[in-house]
Structures are given as C-alpha cells and as structure tokens.
Structure 1
Amino acid sequence: MNPSPPWTTLVSPAQLAAALDDPMLVVLDARFSLGDPGAGEAAWREGHVPGARYVHLDRDLSGAHVPGAGRHPWPDARAFGRSLGALGITPGHQVVAYDAADGAFAARAWCLLRMAGHRRVAVLDGGFAAWRAEGHPVDGTVPEAEPAPPYPVTFDQTRLFDAARVQAHLDAGGLLLDARGAERFRGDAEPIDARAGHVPGATSRPYAENLADGRFKPRSELAEEFAALPGGGNPLRTVAMCGSGVTACHHLLAMAHAGLEGAGLYTGSWSGWIEDPARPVATGQD
C-alpha cells in the first residue's frame, strides 16, 4: 500500500524510515559534486538509505547539449522516460530523492518528475546528513532495480523557458529569480561559467535562503519571503534560474512546499544565456 497521504514536496527522515518496506516506494540517491562528478556515486556505493538507487546529474538528470541548453541540458522526454523505467519507476510509485544535505541536486530530480506529471515525488528534508544524524539505517549493498517499461513522460512545456521566452517574460513584468550566490549574481566572482554577471532584470535570491539549520524553512515563513519579492510571490508570474538549471529547482520546490506551485524554470539558465555573446549582461546588485 502507498504511503498516505502522498508526499509531494518534502518528507522527514522519520517518515521515510517508517515507509522503507513499502513496495511502491522508490528512493533515489542524487548526491553529486560539480568538482568531482564521480564522488556522489562513490559515496552511494559506500553507504546509502536502504534500497536507494543512484541517479547521476550528468547521466540521468540531464540531456544532450543543444545550442542554448547550458551546462546541464533539460533531457529529452523519451530518454528521461527510459531512465525512469530503468530505475523501476512507474506512475504509481511514490518517489523520494535525497542528496548530501541541502536538497539542491535532489530538487532537480523532484522537478524533472513533477514536470513530467508525476505527483507523488518528494525530497528528503536535510538529505543524507539528516538521515544519519537521526540514526536511521545505512546500507552498503548496491540494490538491483526491477526495470519497468519506459515511463510515459510528457513535460509541461508551459513551465519550461528558453532565453527568448525569458526575455518576453521580463518584458511583460514577470519575476526572474536567480538562485545563484549573491557574489555570482553581482559578477564579483564566477568560478564556473565563462562570463560573470546576471540576466538584466533578474532578481537575486540565493537558494540557501530557503533553508535554516540545513532544512527547509516552515511553509508559512517561505510563503512570506516569496510574497515579499517583486510580484508578490505569484508563481504564475515567476521563473527561476541559476547557473545551469539545477539549483533553480530548489526555488520551485520551496515555492510548492509553501503552496505556491506553478512557477517556471529557465532550463538553460546563466550558462545557456551566455552561449550567445550578443545577449546583454548586467553586473552589480540591480
């Protein structure tokens, strides 16, 4: 029987631990390091939430590059459907994703599934660090997933934005929320991409502001903070971006948890924006 009620945004370590024996639960380990792309999978092999299947940001949660797609392209629907099938995920499963701690990479898995129409997907609040801190079991056995048919993925294209749609969104007075650190937004430092700065008209809100003591802030607090942004927190007038369309998903998750579901994602984000040298770049706080 499925965990009840369904988990659609966040789940606590205790809640997940109580449901591990549920045959309709699939746990995904999304730990990853941009500096060492093999580190997350190595850590999973050493120890993970019992039964967790590993998803790699580059292999499983990103697609092939096309112009403007950025460093972590949004995957093709059919290819992503095959990946979900290989993980044993069907439309009936409850999925829980986690990463090392803050949910940045797990939120990418959550966003992909949600945009594919899968409602029963959540992120483990506090990640593997919280799981271990609470003394829940850790398994070093690599699980064998029972493959399922390819998942029938149809992405919600109304919520997936390219550069042209982002510019039109800004021109219409919409909010473009940049999840990168403030120093990258201002252009003070750029450790990853070829150019520093931000999309003109974007608003800075580092994704870490969604957290307190390593966990997501309470729903009411998040709702107040998003409401204080330009546009009053209206998700239908909000598009999130970051460096490559990964940590931006953290904002979509935080907003959904606060009851503000429906925001869009600039899939190419900053790395996609600067692929065209003719696009304008802003620096500083505004």
Structure 2
Amino acid sequence: MAGWTTLVQAETLSVGLARPDVVVLDCRFDLADNNAGENAWMQAHVPGARYAHLDRDLSGPLQASKGRHPWPDAAEFRERLGRWGISPQTQVVAYDADSGAFAARAWFLLRALGHEKVAVLDGGWKRWTALGLPVDNKVPVPISAKYHAEFDARRILDADQVAEALQAGELLVDARAPARFRGEEERLDRVAGHVPGAVNRPLTDNLADGRFKSPGQLAEEFRALLHGSPANQLIAMCGSGVTACHHLLAMERAGMPGARLFAPSWSGWISDPARPVATGE
C-alpha cells in the first residue's frame, strides 16, 4: 500500500507539499462557534489547504435519528471531493488544531469509501506552526476531479445494529470525556449518560504530548480492551460520530484495522426516548 495511510509528520508533509498529487484539508472546528475554524483558515493555513467544514462538508443534513452530525450521503460527499480536486489516486492529508479529533472524521469518511492514501497530520496546526513551517492565507484555485465509490456499509452502524451487537457480546467504546460518559455533565445533548454496556476510553488516551502514541503502545491498550476479541468486534462512538473516528484511526495505526463506527452515536441513541440510558461508571 503506497502513500501515507494513517499519520504523517509535519516535517514529512512540508517536503511533500510540492507533490502534484497531494491535497491538504484543513478541518479546524469549534463546536461552540461553527465559524471559528473557517475564520482561522482564512487567516492562515498550511499552503494550499482547502477548508473542510464539519457541518457543511463532513456531515449530512440534520435528521434526529442520525445525530448532530449525520453521516453524509455518498453522492454528496463524492461531489465535495471533486470540488477539492480529490480523485481515488490523490494523497489526502487532513489536519485540525491539534489532537486530530476533527481531522479523523475526514480520514474515516475517505477510508470508508475505500480510499487508502489518506492520513492525519500528527499534532495538527499546533505542531506545524510550532516548528515554524510555511503558512499562507491564499484561497486555493478550485480543481475539478471525479470520484466514484460507495461507503462500506459494514463499517457504519445505526442504533438498532449497535443494540444487536451489544446483545451478541461485541464491544462499544465511547470516546467522550469521562464526566460526559458518567452523565455528570452534558453541554451538547439533551440527555446525559451513556449507552448501557458501553465502556469509556476518551480519545485523549490515544495521545501523548499532543501526538499519537506509538503503534505498539496503542495495540497493547486496544488489545486489553478487546480481551482477545478481533478488532472488527469493536464499535466506536462519541457524542455525534465525529471524535469516535479518532479511535478508528488509532487502531489502524496500531495495525488493528476493521473496527466500526456507531455513526449517530449518543445524540442519535437518545433521539428515541424508549432506548435505555445508563449513568455512572
């Protein structure tokens, strides 16, 4: 498999920017201010980076049962890829402010289409600028490309499928902060708590000093969670199916591909008041 497929380091990308097949996506976003990321991109970004807005570009239209950031329609997402000049042969690099929480959503959208050459910039914008690497504020000239692919439906689950998977003994891992998982605080969704049977692993557990842990360390930690089960028995979730993708990226970095996403996540689960809710550990 050629190209960067999980992470790329800032030093490597700074050299690779000259390659004609590289397209960079700036995925910076702030859930408290939906315009903050795009405004930051307009002020300065990695040279040549296109802006990928979480609501507008990396999600579909709002539907209660599909959560706050619905999984997009394949045809609509392919059209966005074409606008960004991304074809199946393109090397894509996504970044956000630092942790990769939003960039991982772009990564998994492409991975679910079967796109191999897509990676997240390790350490994001924070590390890029800390190293003094080039930035600009030029809006890239639109480039048209064609993309033909469908999402792999086996890796994208809804609430009913997750309930069945839990009954079958599969593992549901919630990437939210512990206080939200326990139901002690909730600023984004109308109900606090978690899906009964889920376990909590905050996405920050994938990081050390702002960058992803080594493949070996991640593999050890996820194997401990799985208790001997294969990687495809793990389902990642979060508040709306965005930051859960961080776990899917971390597992692929660890050499454990095949985990799945509960796309509507917590905000979709609670759209039906008949579904059970748990609090505490």
The TM-score, its normalising length taken from structure 1, stands at: 0.96
Name 1:84's counterpart in structure 2: 81
The answer as to whether partners of 2:226 and 2:234 remain within 8 angstroms in 1 is no
Aligned residue runs from structure 1 range 254-269, under 5 A: 254-269=250-265
Name 1:28's counterpart in structure 2: 25
Q: 1:90 Cα deviation (Å)?
A: 0.3
Does residue 1:277 correspond to 2:273, yes or no?
A: yes
Kindly provide the amino acid, as one letter, of the partner of residue 104 in structure 1. Answer: A
The correspondence for 1:61, drawn from 58, 63, 67, is 58
Q: Kindly report the root-mean-square deviation, in angstroms, between the aligned alpha carbons of the 2 structures.
A: 1.0
Aligned partner of residue 232 in structure 2, secondary structure:
helix
Q: 1:34 Cα deviation (Å)?
A: 0.3
Does residue 1:98 correspond to 2:98, yes or no?
A: no
**Distance in structure 1 (CA, Å) of the matches to 2:93 and 2:142:** 15
Kindly provide the amino acid, as one letter, of the partner of residue 248 in structure 2. Answer: L
Name 2:149's counterpart in structure 1: 153
Identical aligned residues as a percent: 60
The answer as to whether partners of 2:68 and 2:268 remain within 8 angstroms in 1 is yes
The correspondence for 2:45, drawn from 45, 48, 52, is 48
Name 2:183's counterpart in structure 1: 187
Q: 1:67 Cα deviation (Å)?
A: 4.2
The answer as to whether partners of 2:21 and 2:90 remain within 8 angstroms in 1 is yes
Q: Deviation string for 1:224-257 (max 9, x for gaps)?
A: 0111114436211000000000000000000000
Aligned residue pairs total: 281
Unmatched segments (≥5 aa) in structure 2? none
**Distance in structure 1 (CA, Å) of the matches to 2:12 and 2:2:** 11
Aligned partner of residue 229 in structure 1, secondary structure:
helix
Q: Deviation string for 1:51-106 (max 9, x for gaps)?
A: 00000000000001334100000000000010100111000100000000000000
Does residue 1:239 correspond to 2:230, yes or no?
A: no
Name 2:15's counterpart in structure 1: 18
Name 1:196's counterpart in structure 2: 192
The answer as to whether partners of 2:175 and 2:203 remain within 8 angstroms in 1 is yes
**Distance in structure 2 (CA, Å) of the matches to 1:135 and 1:175:** 42
Name 1:121's counterpart in structure 2: 118
The answer as to whether partners of 2:67 and 2:240 remain within 8 angstroms in 1 is yes
Kindly provide the amino acid, as one letter, of the partner of residue 119 in structure 2. Answer: A
Does residue 1:217 correspond to 2:213, yes or no?
A: yes
Q: 1:153 Cα deviation (Å)?
A: 2.7
- CA, structure 1 residues 233+130, in 2 after alignment: closer, same or farther (shift >3 Å)? farther
Aligned partner of residue 222 in structure 2, secondary structure:
helix
Unmatched segments (≥5 aa) in structure 1? none
The TM-score, its normalising length taken from structure 2, stands at: 0.98
The answer as to whether partners of 2:2 and 2:117 remain within 8 angstroms in 1 is no
Q: 1:145 Cα deviation (Å)?
A: 2.5
The answer as to whether partners of 2:23 and 2:93 remain within 8 angstroms in 1 is yes
- CA, structure 1 residues 231+165, in 2 after alignment: closer, same or farther (shift >3 Å)? farther
The correspondence for 1:229, drawn from 225, 248, 252, is 225
Aligned partner of residue 104 in structure 1, secondary structure:
coil
Q: 1:135 Cα deviation (Å)?
A: 1.3
The correspondence for 1:168, drawn from 145, 164, 167, is 164
Q: Which aligned segments of 4 or more residues in structure 1 are displaced greater than 6 angstroms? A: none
The answer as to whether partners of 2:5 and 2:118 remain within 8 angstroms in 1 is yes
